[in-house]
Amino acid sequence: LNVCGNLTISSFTYNSGNINVMEGATLNLGGGGTMTMNGGGIITNRGNLIINKAVVMQGGTANIISNALGATFTMPGSRTLTINNA
């Protein structure tokens, strides 16, 4: 998924794959609950990434959230990031 503008997703399930937030773009993942990355998930942020839910990274292969210089990554409120990769 390549995000080139402003995109808000209120209900989102993400197991694996690539999400690219391009420079000047905003991706807002909301809806509460938990987003589980089950291995092989890559989020590359060159713009603005807002995750308004808890995130769990698990599975046998790496999950990556990469934030480029000048990009913003926000998890508002009391959201948690749990890493269970083994």
Q: What is the mean pLDDT of residues 27-52?
A: 87
Closest CA to 8 of 70, 61, 46, 53: 53
- Judged against a pLDDT cut of 80, whether residue 80 lies above it is answered with yes
**Token pair 């009391």: residue:** 78
Q: What is the mean pLDDT of residues 31-36?
A: 81
Closest CA to 24 of 72, 66, 64, 76: 72
Taking the C-alpha atoms of residue 83 and residue 86, their distance in angstroms, rounded to an integer, is 9
- Each residue's pLDDT tens digit, 48-67: 999 888 888 887 777 788 88
- Judged against a pLDDT cut of 80, whether residue 11 lies above it is answered with no
SS3 for 23-86, per residue? CCCEEEECCCCEEEECCCEEEEECCEEEECCEEEECCCCCCEEEECCCCEEECCCCCCEEECCC
What is the pLDDT of the chain when averaged over all its residues?
86
